[in-house]
Amino acid sequence: MMKQMKIPLLLVEDEPHIAQGLIFNLEEEGYQVSHVESGEQALEQLTKKSYALIILDLALPGISGLEVCEQLREQENQIPILMLTARGTEQDRITGLSKGADDYLAKPFNLKEFLLRVAGLLRRASWQPDNLENEFYSFGKNRINLETHQAETTHGTIQLTELEMKMLLLFFAQEGKILSRGELLQQVWGMLPGTETRTLDNFIVRLRKYFEAEPIKPRYFRTIRGRGYQFIQNPE
Ligand code: CA
């Protein structure tokens, strides 16, 4: 059985209907979401599992989101934090950021903006799945060590570059989804959509050379004409 790696997020939100909506949309985006309802539970959960990002409501029963934030930073935990709050005042925003939150969103917020902020924080943190249980990602005869970036492929052992790894993680996290060229360029190189698409195409050619038994007949890294690229972990 092959493991599928998804980016794990921790959602700390006590209002059930808000939590449900966020979980639904985050999972649609391909993230793996753990949900807790209080700051105490959040701190406990963080001792059990590694997360790429915390989405933290400010007003919680028991200790507040701010206190959670403060405690984590005191423990030198640098996990990215996106703070959510109903209070949209400038003072709250400043307090949140001064306690170590990385970004801040006032309720009610636009869902699209929320998802963009999550993606933006993950990108800025250049998230590495260092402490995850799934140290390897496999597809076909390929096996990639997510810590050392070494890959065992059909064509031998290779050492992946940082950019190659970044792109692979994007594909793996959103397995089965079609990623547009603009999206990939922006996420991997941070460029504006529409620039340097040849760089991207060359990258895909390289990935196919590494991981496809027949690079000219790709099964895993597919071109979807007019739309972009798609990674399939278990093709027919
Ligand atoms: Ca709340």
How much distance in Å is there from the Cα of 82 to the middle of ligand 1?
14
How much distance in Å is there from the Cα of 96 to the middle of ligand 1?
15
Is 236 domain-assigned?
Answer: no
How much distance in Å is there from the Cα of 64 to the middle of ligand 1?
9
How much distance in Å is there from the Cα of 49 to the middle of ligand 1?
23
How much distance in Å is there from the Cα of 13 to the middle of ligand 1?
6
How much distance in Å is there from the Cα of 40 to the middle of ligand 1?
14
Task: Please tell me whether residues 90 and 45 are part of one structural domain.
Answer: yes
- Residue 132 confidence (pLDDT): 44
How much distance in Å is there from the Cα of 10 to the middle of ligand 1?
15
How much distance in Å is there from the Cα of 98 to the middle of ligand 1?
20
How much distance in Å is there from the Cα of 104 to the middle of ligand 1?
14
CATH assignment of the domain containing 176: 1.10.10.10
Is 1 domain-assigned?
Answer: no
Is 149 domain-assigned?
Answer: yes
How much distance in Å is there from the Cα of 52 to the middle of ligand 1?
22
Give the end of a domain, one of 73, 105, 125.
Answer: 125
Task: Please tell me whether residues 160 and 223 are part of one structural domain.
Answer: yes
Is 87 domain-assigned?
Answer: yes
How much distance in Å is there from the Cα of 166 to the middle of ligand 1?
34
Task: Please tell me whether residues 119 and 179 are part of one structural domain.
Answer: no
- Residue 126 confidence (pLDDT): 63
Task: Please tell me whether residues 23 and 120 are part of one structural domain.
Answer: yes
Task: Please tell me whether residues 152 and 113 are part of one structural domain.
Answer: no
Task: Please tell me whether residues 34 and 119 are part of one structural domain.
Answer: yes
How much distance in Å is there from the Cα of 14 to the middle of ligand 1?
5
Give the end of a domain, one of 95, 125, 155.
Answer: 125
- Residue 41 confidence (pLDDT): 97
- Residue 172 confidence (pLDDT): 87
Q: Using DSSP, state whether 186 is helix, strand or coil.
A: helix
What total of structural domains would you count in the chain? 2
Q: Which residues of the chain have pLDDT under 70?
A: 1-5, 87-89, 126-134, 191-196
What is the span of the domain harbouring residue 104?
8-125
Is 163 domain-assigned?
Answer: yes
Sheet holding 32-36, edge to edge: 32-36, 8-12, 53-57, 81-85, 103-106
How much distance in Å is there from the Cα of 86 to the middle of ligand 1?
8
Check: pTM over 0.85? Answer yes or no: no
Task: Please tell me whether residues 114 and 140 are part of one structural domain.
Answer: no
Is 3 domain-assigned?
Answer: no
Closest CA to 105 of 6, 30, 11, 8: 11
Cα-flanking dihedrals φ and ψ of residue 148, to 5°? -90, -10
Give the end of a domain, one of 86, 104, 125.
Answer: 125
How much distance in Å is there from the Cα of 58 to the middle of ligand 1?
6
| Amino acid sitting at position 205 | V
Is 2 domain-assigned?
Answer: no
How much distance in Å is there from the Cα of 68 to the middle of ligand 1?
13
195/186 Cα distance (integer angstroms): 9
DSSP track, 57-125: ESS-SSS-HHHHHHHHHHTT----EEEEES---HHHHHHHHHTT-SEEEESS--HHHHHHHHHHHHHHT
